[in-house]
Chain A
Amino acid sequence: MRLPGGARGGAHVTEELVRAGRGALRFARSQMPVLDGIQREAERTRPLAGHRISGCVHLTKETGVLVELLVAAGAEVAWTGGDEVSTQDEVAEALRAAGVRVFGRRGMTTAEVEQGIDDVLKAFPAGPTIVLDNGSRMIERVVRDRSAFPELVAATEKTTEGSRRVRELDLDFPVVSVNDIVTKWEVDNTYGTGQSTIDGILRATGALLAGKRFVVAGFGHVGRGVAIRAAGLGARVIVTCRSNETAVRARLAGFEVLSPVKAAAQADFLCTATGYPDVVTGEQLDVLPSGAVLCNTGHSVTEINLTDLAARTAEVEQVRPHVARHHLRDGRYVDLLAGGGLVNLAAGEGNPSEVMDVTFANQALATLGLGAEVPAPGVHEVTAEQDEDVARRKLAAMGIRIDEEAAA
């Protein structure tokens, strides 16, 4: 049996996967009350009836709940994860069993990932009417080959980098950017990634943070979240950053701010959270105390320069899952977590479902809104009203009441 996108195995394996996937989706849904509430409304009104959606967002159980919402809202849906490792096969299988066209599986090659993106765009003979993107790759393909997608009316994009790239395109359809809003920046980045990063580090190392010197490179939303949480666990936090404005903010928040080499020279932990490549290079690697833990929670695997690390490494020993002990030529060792990739995704479980609830609620509302009204071509930010709406739904789900705005 060959399933779309190449899931492998016999019928009994598939059945087991479907069962496991449904369980995972149910569990995620129990942590995602906002999305669940939006789905209940959409089931009645079916604003996406007649729409065909091609989506490209990491296929986790939380994304699965979003996909179920889109189906419940009346859309036909095709999906791919858009990266090599994040697709949860059991979730993919459960969605396939529910009629969603899912392309891809865990452990794809880069070529297979690209093929998945093409497949999901071609899943419908007449092409999608709406594209849900994460990193602008589908949107870019649509723009390149616009005549192949005559019925496409709109798209949404949910990453900072993707939104930036989409702005440079010549668009004859609208793209809603679900990005520059409080519920995303603060909830997802500061609280979600802040916590899951510390979680990943602790799961990987089993170390005590209290009393340790914890260096955070970068003090944006993520870096600040990591710093606050590390300090909360008793670590002495040192921040390194590139701009004076950020440095002053970190310092006034009570953190020590040092240059990268001075900070590295006393680091028990060094965590990069900048979004830029080569934040940790040979300069810092040469002064790290022996036994230092090195990890990254920024955008990609490039924040720690692995070539510089390899050049200093005599031997690599995998001492625990996710912990590669690099025995350096000069006798020191450093523990690299998750190969320098995203420590919260690799060693932890990524952002908690409750956080993705908020992020995806924004994407869901933006997409459902497209069923009612299609804005003018070009990039549109999610409105402050929608931001408030999502926050209000989250507070209600948490049982928290606030004051009414006084009548003007």
Chain B
Amino acid sequence: MTVKLDTATARMPVLAAIRREFGEVAPLNGHRIALCGHVTAETAVQVRTLLALGAEIVWCASSTTTTDEEIAAAMRRDGVVVHGKRGMSDADLARGAHEVLSVWPEGPTLVLDEGAVLITALHRDFAHLPAPVLATEKTPDGLAALAGVGPLRFPVIKSDESFGKDAVDNPHGTAQSLVETIATVSARLLAGKVFVVAGHGRVGSGVAQKARGLGARVVVTEVSATKALLAVLNGYEVLPMREAARIGDFFCTVTGKPGVIGRDDLLAMKSGAVLANGGHLPWEIDQEALSALATGRRELAPGLEELTLSNGNTVELLGGGHIVNLSAGRGNASEVMDVTFASQVLALQLVLPKAADLAPGLHALPPECDEYVAAALAKALGIQLDEK
């Protein structure tokens, strides 16, 4: 164990509850799990939980930039196969996925996927392998990618659409982590500033709330009228981006859509505006437009770049326009990842007994997974619902 792994383990009570409750029965005994995910301490705790439930497991990184070498080494020492290295190439990343699927002659029986990497491969290069019993996909992007795969060969649980994501991860975990990263990396005071949040969905409404809590005047931009109306009723100013661009000190995009901040918006901004993207893909701030407008760039601090624009103004870009809490910050807190990962583990073990009855294709996370997670979390928070 490393200190990092130790600390993460202690801060992930829902996975601990699963190990305690199901470790002895080992419901995943005899199963071969292929897992694609960030090589971080939190995923390591998930992997250890799956091992404790009796599974064999091999693991490939889901991103070229996020692998924690110390964690990878610690897991390898424990005999877990981990394909991943910080700064690996895209080709290495793809090779890792292929190796994970080549470990067993019969392939994996269970798949925990991120970004639909493994599930896609199982329908292309590895279509000859027997279909796994069950798979889970935990990102909206992955679910979108699956639409292009064609008819699925096996059941896939949408573990993204869960109580944990909806109630804990998006509005609190990700939102806190975004605001925290923006404040820390820009090293600015939020109080009294105009903080523009593009998007008022689950993450965006959380970002708005937390920025307001730090004293910022929050302005929301939206394309959906229902979401905009909710923002208005929450007391936020709602403006089109072009107008928000003129008054914003900070900009955080959380829409999932490309080009939310475009060329004309960049040119309308005050000099010194801070730009951050909280969405999955680095396309919400139009990078092409930004590069075309930039007459100079320099790094002010790690994760913080100053660009001089053709109109003489500067803007400060966080994390190169990539999802800012992962690229320039510490990411989600362990206790948040706990909830997300626990939903995935539960999806496997609670659905497994009836997996044979599930048709191939996408399936919702069963409600009992959400109930289990909520109960374990309530307990960890010391909440008592009835008299005891």
Contacts and interface: CB of A to CB of B under 8 A. Distances in A.
B371 A244 contact: yes
Interface residues on A, range: 35 or more
Contact of B387 (A252, A260, A401): A260
A356 to B, nearest CB: 15
A186 B380 CA distance: 30
Contact of A244 (B233, B259, B385): B385
Contacts of A249: 167
Contacts of A247: 374, 378, 383, 385
A126 interface: no
B239 A401 contact: yes
Interface in A389-408: 389, 391-392, 394-395, 398, 400-406
B375 A406 contact: no
Contacts of A403: 221-223, 240-241
Interface string B201-230: 000000000000000000001111110111
A183 B225 CA distance: 10
A259 B168 contact: no
Given A243-B374, A391-B225, A402 B238 contact: yes
A260 B171 CA distance: 27
A402 B223 contact: yes
Contact of B232 (A182, A248, A395): A395
A252 B168 contact: yes
Contact of A186 (B168, B171, B228, B230): B230
Contacts of A258: 384
Nearest to B200: A402
Query: Is chain A's interface secondary structure helix, strand, loop, or mixed overall?
Result: helix
B232 A262 contact: no
A349 to B, nearest CB: 19
Nearest to A252: B172
Given A244-B375, A244-B377, A405 B223 contact: yes
A405 B259 CA distance: 11
A178 to B, nearest CB: 15
Contacts of B330: none
A402 B385 contact: no
B226 A182 contact: yes
B370 interface: yes
B364 to A, nearest CB: 15
A387 interface: yes
Contacts of B172: 252
B163 interface: yes
A286 to B, nearest CB: 12
A404 B223 contact: yes
Interface string A226-259: 0000000000000011111101110110000111
Interface residues of B, number: 36
A261 B387 contact: yes
B24 interface: no
Contact of A252 (B167, B371, B385, B388): B167
A211 B206 CA distance: 26
B385 A400 contact: no
Nearest to B381: A251
Interface in A189-244: 190-191, 240-244
Given A186-B230, A398-B232, A406-B257, A388 B224 contact: yes
B383 A248 contact: yes
A244 B223 contact: no
A248 B377 contact: yes
Contacts of B238: 395, 400, 402
Contacts of A260: 386-387
Q: Which of A247, A388, A403, A405 has the most CB of B within 10 A?
A: A403
B371 A191 contact: no
A30 B315 CA distance: 45
Contacts of B383: 244, 247-248, 251, 257
A114 B163 CA distance: 43
B229 A244 contact: no
A242 B241 contact: no
A249 B388 CA distance: 22
B258 interface: yes
A388 B168 contact: no
Nearest to B229: A391
Interface string A252-284: 100001111110000000000000000000010
Contacts of B239: 401
B375 A388 contact: no
A191 B233 CA distance: 7
B223 A245 contact: no
Contact of A391 (B226, B241, B257): B226
Interface string B65-88: 000000000000000000000000
Given A247-B374, A260-B386, 4 more contacts: A183-B229, A244-B374, A391-B228, A391-B229
Q: Which 7 pairs of residues, A with B, have the shortest CB-CB distance?
A: A391-B225, A244-B374, A392-B225, A245-B374, A244-B378, A391-B226, A391-B229
Interface of A: 182-183, 186-187, 190-191, 240-245, 247-249, 251-252, 257-262, 283, 387-389, 391-392, 394-395, 398, 400-406
Interface of B: 163, 167-168, 171-172, 221-226, 228-230, 232-233, 238-241, 257-259, 370-371, 374-375, 377-378, 381, 383-388
27 contacts: A244-B374, A244-B377, A245-B374, A247-B374, A247-B385, A248-B168, A248-B377, A251-B383, A258-B384, A259-B385, A259-B387, A260-B386, A262-B384, A283-B387, A388-B226, A389-B225, A391-B228, A391-B229, A394-B229, A395-B225, A395-B228, A395-B232, A398-B232, A401-B239, A403-B222, A403-B223, A405-B224
